[in-house]
Homo-oligomer: A and B are copies of this chain.
Amino acid sequence: MVNETQPTCCASPSSKSDGGSSSGSEGSKESSRCSTPVLDGDRHERLRDKMRRRQDSGDKWFSLEFFPPRTANAAVNLISRFDRMGAGGPLFIDVTWHPAGDPGSDKETSSMIIANTAVNYCGLETILHMTCCNQTKEDITGHLQKAKRLGLKNIMALRGDPSGEEWEEEVGGFNYAVDLVKHIRSEFDDYFDICVAGYPTGHPEAESYEADLRHLKQKVFAGADFIITQLFFRSETFLKFMKDCQAIGITCPIIPGIFPIQGYHSLRQLVKLSKLEVPQEIKDVIEPIKDNDAAIRNYGVELAVSMCRELLDSGVVHGLHFYTLNREVATTEVLKRLGIWKEDPRRPLPWAVSAHPKRRVEDVRPIFWASRPKSYIYRTQEWDDFPNGRWGNSSSPAFGELKDYYLFYLKSKSPREELLKMWGEELTSEESVFEVFTCYITGEPNKNGHKVTCMPWNDDPLATETNLLKEQLEKVNRRGILTINSQPNINGKPSTDPIVGWGPSGGYVFQKAYLEFFTSSEIVTALLKVLKKYELRVNYHIVNVKGQNITNAPDLQPNAVTWGIFPGREIIQPTVVDPVSFLSWKDEAFALWIEQWAKLYEEESPSRMIIQYIYDNYYLVNLVDNDFPLENCLWQVLDDTFELLN
C-alpha cells in the first residue's frame, strides 16, 4: 500500500533507497531531490544498472561502436552521425582507442575528445576504449583521470596490439587487459564501469579456447562489469561461447558483437585484422557479387538480421552490440528490421540534455543558443555547477571566450561551395541578404535554384515548431527583419504534444512568444517608438556589435519563456531570456556573420563588404510577448513598425 505507483522520476542513489520506502520523518530528511523531469528514469543510473534493468524488464537494446576519424571535417560529420543514430535510442555508444592517433590528446580527432563530444555534446552514454600495452602506468592513470574529468564513466579495458612483430611481456608493465582492469579498480575504486572483450572462438594468440576462457574469467573477477564479444558469423558460435562462460562461473552480461557485412573490402580487412575465418557459405555468396556494393550490403543486412533474430529468440541475449565502421545505413536498417530502433519523440526537456554527471541538475538554459546547443555546452563547460531550478545567480558565471576554437563552434557542417550556392556566390545589396533569410524560412529555392537548408545561426533546416510561424516570418524577413530564433506562444498544451511537448506525460507546457532578429538601425528607431505602446506587455533587448544595449527589462532578471507544470513536481522553466547571457550570445551571433558568411568571399570584395556592413551597423533584437494567453502581439509590433516607416 505504501508508494503504490512506481516513482516516475530520476532515481539518484539516495532517492532510490528512500523513495519507495514507508518513511518516518527521520529517514526522509536525507532524501535527495532532483528537479529535471526524466522520461525513462535511467539518466542517473550507471551503465551496468541500466543494463540490468533492461534485462529484468525484457526490453531489448542495442549499442553502437565507432572509431575516431582522421580529419576535423570527418569529426564534424561523425558528430552529426552520433546525433542521428543517437535518435534510435542506443543504450550506449563506444569509441575505440586509436594508439596511432594520439588517443588521449586534446586533438579534435582523438579518441578522448570524440568520446567527450559523444557524452557531453550529444548526450550519449559512452564507453571509451583504452589499451594498455606499451604504455606506462602514469600515462594510463593520466588518461583515466582525464576521462573522469570529462565526465566519462565507462572504460573498455583492452590489451591492444603489441607494436613490434614479436611482442614480449614487460616486467611490471601492463601486459594484459586484466592488468588494466586491476589498475582501474585499484586507482579509481568503483568509479568506472568496466567492459572487457570476449572472443567467441578464442583469442587468436591464446594457447587454446579454454585457456582464453580462463583469461576472460580473470578479467571479470578482477572487476569487469560486462563483456562485449568480438564479431562472429553464426549465432551458434556465440551461444556456445556464452554457455561455456557460464559453465566456468562467468555471470556478468555478455553482449554479442554484430558486424553487418557492408562491403567486400571492409570484410577482408576486418577478417585479416581479427584473424577470423569467414564461413564458406558466406564466402560462396559474396565472391560472385564482390564488385556490387549494394548487393553485398543487402546480403549483409539479411545475414545480420537473421543472426540477431536467432540470438534474441534464444532468450539469453538481451542486447546487441554493432560494429558500425562509422557507417549508418546498414546498421540502422538491421535495427529497424529487428524493431529495436526506437525513435522517441518525447523530450525530457525542450533542449538536448547533456550526459555529463556535472550537468545532471541542469534544467534551465538561455533561449539564445536554442539552435546551437553544442556551442552553449562548449561555452559553459568550465562552469563548476549548474543552476538548480533557477538560472539566475547572484553572480553570473562567465561564458567561454569567443576566440576559443572548437569543432562545431563557429564552423558549419557544409563545405564552402555548398554554402556559396545557398547564401549567394555574389551579394549585390543588403536585400540579397534578406532573400537568403527568406528562402531559408520558406524552403523555396533561391534565384539560382538552390535550397537554403542552413544558416550561420542554424546548421539544420527550420524546426517543426518554427514552421508554425512560417508565413509571418517570411513576410518580415523580406523586409529586413532577419530572424534567427523564434517560438510561438503556448497556453497549456499537453506535455505529450508531438511538436511543442516535453517532459513526463500528464503535464502541461507553456511558452511566451519569442522573436530574435538582426535589423538595421533605421528599423530599430521605428521599432522603439512602436514598443512604447506595448511597454508592459513586451520586453525587449536591443544591442549592436559594440555592446550598446537598449532594454526595458526590470533590472537584470531573466524572463522565463518556456515552462511546464507536471503531476507531483515543482515547476520546470527550462528556457529563459537572460539579459546577462544575451550579451555573451551577442558576440557569438555577430561573429557568425563574419566567420561563416563574410569569409566565404575575397577580402575587399563587394559581397564581403555587404556582410561587414551588416555586422558593423545592424542591431540584434529580441522580443518577448509576456501575455501568453492572448494572441501573439509581436507580429502586430512589427506591422506597426513597418507602417511607421512608410
Contacts and interface: CB of A to CB of B under 8 A. Distances in A.
A570 interface: yes
30 contacts: A2-B550, A2-B551, A3-B550, A3-B552, A4-B535, A7-B555, A18-B556, A24-B547, A25-B584, A28-B396, A29-B398, A29-B580, A33-B555, A33-B558, A389-B390, A389-B392, A391-B570, A491-B492, A492-B492, A506-B536, A510-B565, A537-B567, A539-B567, A552-B568, A560-B571, A563-B571, A566-B626, A567-B626, A568-B626, A570-B573
A8 interface: yes
A506 B539 CA distance: 12
Nearest to A392: B33
Given A25-B583, A565-B628, A567-B536, A552 B395 contact: no
Contacts of A202: none
A553 interface: yes
B549 A22 contact: yes
A15 interface: yes
A28 B579 CA distance: 9
Interface string A538-560: 01000000011111111111111
How many chain copies?
Answer: 2
B5 A492 contact: no
Contacts of A580: 25, 28-29, 31
Contact of A19 (B550, B554, B573): B554
B565 A8 contact: no
A189 interface: no
A557 B34 contact: yes
A23 B24 CA distance: 51
Overall SS of chain A's interface? loop
Contacts of A536: 505-506, 567
Contacts of A284: none
A7 B568 contact: no
A121 to B, nearest CB: 24
Nearest to A570: B560
A576 B568 CA distance: 10
Interface string A623-634: 010101100000
Contacts of A624: 568
B547 A25 contact: yes
Interface string A512-549: 00000000000000001000100111010000000111
A287 interface: no
B583 A570 contact: no
B491 A626 contact: no
A167 B3 CA distance: 73
A510 B510 CA distance: 12
